Structure 1
Amino acid sequence: MMGKLRFYLITGIAGFVFTFIFSIRNNLWMTSMYRALIACAIWFLLAFLLNWMFAAITGPRAAEKGEAGSQREQDRGTVLDLSTPDEDRELMDLIHAESSSKENGDFVPLNPPKLVSTKDPEELAKAVRHLTEK
């Protein structure tokens, strides 16, 4: 922790020095000091945020991990499970029904339900004409 704090402070001081050097040429020393102090705080916070972001991306370190039981809790949200659940039961039943009919020697094609409109074609044409007029 002290190493991280030291890094943040060094980053803040570097921001202070750079801002003060480039600002003193065009401003009064008090204005340059004020801007340098603001830059120190901003650089400190940026270093902290970047370190936090890198730690979040890389995940927990092996040295910081505790027991094996708490390792599961620390790893929560870092592992992506790409396996899909077996929800294709209906498809599997159709395949098994086809294979059983093939064993009998009879070929029965799959007959999906047809999408048939029960509306009158004239009524549908009127609706399309009405929508295209607007």
Structure 2
Amino acid sequence: MLGSWRWNVGFGLLGTLLIIIFSMNSNPMSVVLLRSLYAFVSFFVLAFAARAALAAILKPPAMIVNAEERQADNGSQLDLTTPDESEDLNDMLKAQLQGDANHSGKDNALAVQSSQFKPLNPPQFVSADDNQPEHLAKALRHLTGE
């Protein structure tokens, strides 16, 4: 909880003082003292409720340390850890090297994808064997716009 009981007493005394100041002129002293007692109790309880609310609002979030608590809280917090898939990766690499497509369901899908995949094979540019100076000059004139 935030603070101590002294805050409650201070707020109670503040409420008592306000009631005494505002009702002294219009009420007899017994009524003023009775109302100031009610004000003290009311402000004391209100200060307790305000302190409890502030403590709940300003409380830092608790860090989960226990594994059992973590298991109970599944789904309530975002888990940003990635699963260890090194065994699956190793199996896929072995299957690719061995060419075995009937290893598992995942490997079958991978094999279907890999059998459908064909790398792009663009035509290669071939340089002309004709390196005569007249043809080169003609091409240069054509490119420069002369």
Q: Report which of the two structures shows the higher radius of gyration computed on alpha carbons.
A: 2
Higher relative contact order (CA 8 A, sep 6+): 2
